[in-house]
Structure 1
Amino acid sequence: METATYVEYALGGAHEEYSTRNPRSLKAHRDAHSHLPGGNTRTVLHMEPFPLTWASAKSGTLTSLDGDTYIDLLGEFSAGIFGHSEPRIAEAVQVALSKGWNYGGNSQTEKEFAQKVCQRFAPSGIELVRFTNSGTEANTTALGAALAITKRRKILVFSGGYHGSTLVFPIALMQGSTAPCMNLPHDFVYAPYNNISETSAILEDLPQDTLAAILVEPVQGSGGCRAATKTFLHFLRNIADKTGAFLIFDEVMCSRLGYSGYSATQGVRGDIVTLGKYVAGGMTFGAFGGRRDIMELFDPSKNQLFHPGTYNNNVLSMHAGLVGLDIYNADEVDRLNKLGDYLKTKVQRIFIDEGIYPDTVKNASSNLIEIDSFQRDITLQLDEDATTHLDLPPMFITARGSMLNVRFSGPNAAKWQALYHHHMLARNIHIAARGYTPLTLCATEAHMDDYSNSIREFVRTHKRQLIISQS
């Protein structure tokens, strides 16, 4: 059977079993079409044939409307790093509610929280900070500030980058896709992630003194847990210093990988750094901070840069953030990253033992340095068209610390990814449809073992067709 026919047939069977198992979620999805386009108000949560509807959650598990409980390895795409019912955060929120909300004014809690954020993320470059409602808003405002201050228009962005719902840069877009795009109408300059030579060539073609900002995720989240090399990040820092452009590190997701942010672990500082919801205990939140001379322009008494926002300093996020940063301390950052490394190593071993990775990796499998080098090569290759690039293994993992992503390559990659997602749901494991698993503080080695065993089962079930797909 041809690979395309095989995976389509298997996916059809998975859809049928899933629909039979989840009749209440199916009905809820259909009923929601009366009020929501496609029954959905958040595109990333859609999946075929329909998404599950959740009834409740506790600690590190989710329970569906159909009564099944799932291990949650998605953690609200990183925002839910504390799980669903962390008692200390719940208490902080209750305290906030007991004092009233929607003040329309300042509170002492926001001042204490700002101090804690600045102290923690100072090594990444945050000397002063402003709060927003989301990471999207933080990135949008950071770009607006860069354009206003530099009086320039061009913004350098990278393939696979995701900086919010109006700042999305899939590889297809950079290759000239004609699909509708809702990105903000900035003058974007596209470059391949992690590629110094091509980025240099692109920058050399720009007119002098036109580059306002460089916007980059030090570790891409939506782009598949691709980590920038230390050399690439320092290259960008050098470009910013030479051109006078602002280096904006989007650490909405990846700041979780280091106590003071990921860029701090690489010894490089941003001019502006953006943060997201996990910093405020998973509540509605975003932040941007950076160099004092930049951030002081937001001082309202100086009437230079205007930054309103009804919910910037909402009492729930301020209270939850104070507690959340104490919970996710340096020891917990280290523990969670090591748990991610534990899972990555187990998955790599499965791919090696089952022949999914090439023989050269199998022969070098006792040498962890060579395996990690192979993983870096995978990350660098991903700027090619993953649907046709034959040097990638048919199934692979990209990861950095507690952020991991199991992925597929080849012309049927999307169908394999969907089949893999359904395979996990059938085993009561909740991951992103794209294979993303940012671990939560509720995750344990037992959960990693359950997940890796399910991966091994998937590989053994479909190994022959996976390997054929690359021949």
Structure 2
Amino acid sequence: MAPDKTVSYAASALAEARSQYAKRNPESERLLQEGGKYLPGGNTRTILHVSPFPLTFASGNGARLTSVDGHEYVDFLGEYSAGLFGHSNKRIRDAVAAAMDKGWNFGGQCTYEKVLAKKMVERFGASGLEQVRFTNSGTESNTMAIVAAIAATGRKKILVFSGGYHGGTLIFPMEYMKNPDVPTSNLPHDFVFAPYNNIAETKQVIASLPPASLAAILLEPIQGSGGCRPASRAFLHFVRQQASELGALLLVDEVMASRLGPNGYSATAGIRADMISYGKYIGGGMTFGAFGGRSDLMALFDPSRFLLQHPGTYNNNIVTMAAGVEALDIFDSQAVAALNARGARMKEALQDVLIRHGIYRQHPEGARRNIIEVDSFQGDTTIAGNDGNAASQEALPKMFVTGEGSMLNVRFSGPDRAEWQALFYHHMLDNNIYLAARGYTPLNLALTDADVGNYVAAVESFVVAHKNTLTL
């Protein structure tokens, strides 16, 4: 069998890119090696590891990051959505400073938590948020939502979906779903696995369960870690209906997705969750999480009733609470609409690049038809499949863009997609643009139209450089 020239090309180009990267960033490499004496792998956050080594940053200002090697990058990662306000928002800094002037470790309640809770319920009430409790992370928020579902229903099983990420202890890539016995850091709940965005096969999974055994359905309405894959409206309404009919709770993870609608994603999609988890940007870039939902469910956490425990030293930390109050005022409905519109323009510009250079293959109804086909492919998996069913995978171009509003992801398909994704990451760094290694690009408020234009231009230069192979 002849060797796969596409794979060898991508692997060869990636090796050269990594070599140049190492030469460009010697101080980052030195610091990683030094840190390895005290941190396993020199790292304390798995997602930030990249080969041959990750960058180390010295400072940030606005939408700019400066590395210890002296290179400045435009930040298109925005701390995976938590850094929505950039690195030096004056309003948030002033709010935090004013709060800290009064002390920050009270060991008691503070006024800021009452204000922030009221703001959140008023804002996200249409999505199903009637009462809320604060946590320290999105991981903790989803953990407590599951606890509430089990307690409220008296059942154990939790339905989750392929590609789902609900925190460091709730990760469900296809590899894990095919073999749940592999070692993981996941919590030992009774998880049931179903294919994301696949109504027919999810019905089969649900039908196979014992009666009255499902406590909850947990999903992201747009998967962040899973490649910015939006669930179809039909799929969201299907899971809402299934939860209601089965007496299970619908837990919607909006840790990232709540940024896409003025009242949250669920309200935008026309569904109402039983419980919702929040995190990331709402804390103004500080350590933040929250969970909430129906008042009858949240009553389980009323400490005067002595039902479910939810302690936490930093649940109402003054710094986070003050930053959150200001953050929701900054990111109001007008700001949400403006950032989503910028994301839509950026996605269209990226799609036009892929069309003009023949990456999106021609369709009998015209090149724009390919955008509809790519957008309709949401990475819907099958029970026995890998990442997408065969028909959808065959229709995908080697390079494509997914996402909605201000959450975008440049992705690749095919057996060598990991090499292409890594090559793209290094190309963007060479153009002084910082993003997630997986191509995730959540926009932040400090970015400008000029920054977006430079991002699109960098993508086009990547396409031009590798066009002959990408169009094979």
TM range (shorter): over 0.9
Contact 1:218 1:249 in 2 (8 A): yes
Residues 3-402 of structure 1: pairs in structure 2 closer than 5 A: 3-176=6-179, 179-360=182-363, 363-365=365-367, 370-381=369-380, 384-386=385-387, 389-402=393-406
Q: Tell me the alpha carbon deviations over residues 156-186 of structure 1, each in whole angstroms, 9 at most, x when there is no partner.
A: 0001100000100112222337643221111
Give the 3 Å change call, closer, same or farther, for CA 109–177 of structure 1 in structure 2.
Answer: closer
1:417 aligns with 2:411: no
**Cα offset, 1:371, TM superposition:** 4.8
CA-based RMSD of the aligned residues comes to 1.5
The alpha-carbon distance between structure 1 residues 334 and 371, as it changes in their structure 2 partners (threshold 3 A), is: farther
The alpha-carbon deviation at position 364 of structure 1 amounts to 2.3
**Partner SS, residue 417 of structure 1:** helix
Distance 2:406 2:43 in 1: 29
Letter in 1 for 2:346: L
- Alpha-carbon distance between aligned partners in 2 of 1:113 and 1:373, rounded to the nearest angstrom: 40
> What is the DSSP-based 3-state SS (H/G/I as helix, E as strand, rest coil) of the residue aligned with 1:379?
coil
What CA distance in whole angstroms lies between the structure 1 residues aligned with 2:379 and 2:51? 30
The alpha carbon displacement at 1:372 in A equals: 4.9
**Partners of 1:162 and 1:223 within 8 A in 2:** yes
Deviation at 1:303, TM superposition (A): 1.0
TM-score of the superposition, structure 2-length normalised? 0.96
Aligned to 1:406: 410
What is the CA–CA distance in structure 2 between the aligned matches of 1:446 and 1:382, rounded to whole Å?
37
Query: What CA distance in whole angstroms lies between the structure 2 residues aligned with 1:275 and 1:21?
Result: 38
8 Å contact from structure 1 (residues 386, 409) kept in 2: no
Contact 2:198 2:381 (C-alpha < 8 Å) held by counterparts: no
8 Å Cα contact 1:248/1:273 also seen in 2: yes
Q: Which amino acid aligns with 1:67?
A: G
Once residues 3 and 236 of structure 1 are traced to their aligned partners in structure 2, the CA distance between those partners, rounded to angstroms, is 40
Asked whether the equivalents of residues 162 and 381 of structure 2 are also in contact (C-alpha less than 8 Å), the reply is no
**Closer, same or farther: CA 239–381 of 1 in aligned 2, 3 Å:** closer
Change (3 A) 1:218 1:381: closer
Check whether the contact 2:360–2:367 (CA below 8 A) recurs between aligned residues: no
Give the direction of change, closer, same or farther, for the CA distance of 1:232–1:386 in structure 2 (3 Å limit).
closer
- DSSP-derived class of the 1:50 partner: coil
Identify if the C-alpha distance between structure 1 residues 395 and 130 changes in structure 2 by more than 3 Å, giving closer, same or farther: same
Aligned partner of 1:436 in structure 2 is 440
The corresponding residue for 1:445 is 449
The answer to whether the Cα contact below 8 Å between 2:351 and 2:371 also exists between their aligned partners in 1 is no
Distance 1:160 1:442 in 2: 30
In 1, Cα distance between equivalents of 2:336 and 2:74 = 21
Deviates more, 1:387-396 or 1:153-162: 387-396
Q: Which amino acid aligns with 1:241?
A: S
Shift of residue 402, structure 1, vs aligned partner: 0.2
SS of residue matched to 1:319: helix
Instruction: State the Cα distance separating 1:381 from its structure 2 match.
Output: 4.5
Paired residue secondary structure (1:359): coil
CA contact (8 A) 1:356 1:393 kept: yes
Q: Deviations over 1:186-225 (max 9, x none)?
A: 1111011111111111101111000001000011111111
Q: Secondary structure at the match of 2:158?
A: strand
Q: Secondary structure at the match of 2:394?
A: coil
Residue segments in structure 1 that go unaligned for 5+ positions in a row: none
Deviation at residue 391 of structure 1 after TM alignment = 2.9
Q: Is the 8 A contact 1:251 1:273 kept in 2?
A: yes
CA contact (8 A) 1:124 1:268 kept: yes
Give, in angstroms, the shift of residue 463 of structure 1: 1.6
Would the alpha carbon gap of residues 178 and 210 (structure 1) be closer, same or farther in structure 2, given more than 3 Å must change?
closer
AA aligned to 2:375 is R
What is the SS of the residue equivalent to 1:157?
strand
Taking the aligned partners of 1:235 and 1:372, their CA distance within structure 2 comes to 25
* Alignment coverage as a number of residue pairs: 464
Q: Secondary structure at the match of 1:164?
A: coil
Equivalent residue of 2:471, what SS? helix
Secondary structure at the residue paired with 1:234?
helix
Structure 1: distance between partners of 2:363 and 2:411 = 20
| Structure 2 residue runs without a partner (length 5+) | none
**Following TM superposition, by how much is the alpha carbon of 1:382 offset from its aligned partner in structure 2, in angstroms?**
5.8
Fraction of identical pairs, as percent: 53
Task: Quote how far apart the aligned CAs of 1:98 are.
Answer: 0.8
What SS is found at the alignment partner of 2:218? Answer: strand
Deviation at 1:378, TM superposition (A): 2.2
Q: Which moved more, 1:88-97 or 1:390-399?
A: 390-399
Q: 1:88 Cα shift?
A: 0.3
3-state SS in 1 of match to 2:395:
coil
**Contact 1:219 1:228 (C-alpha < 8 Å) held by counterparts:** yes
Kept in 1, the 8 Å contact 2:131–2:292? The answer is yes
Determine helix, strand or coil for the equivalent of 1:105. coil
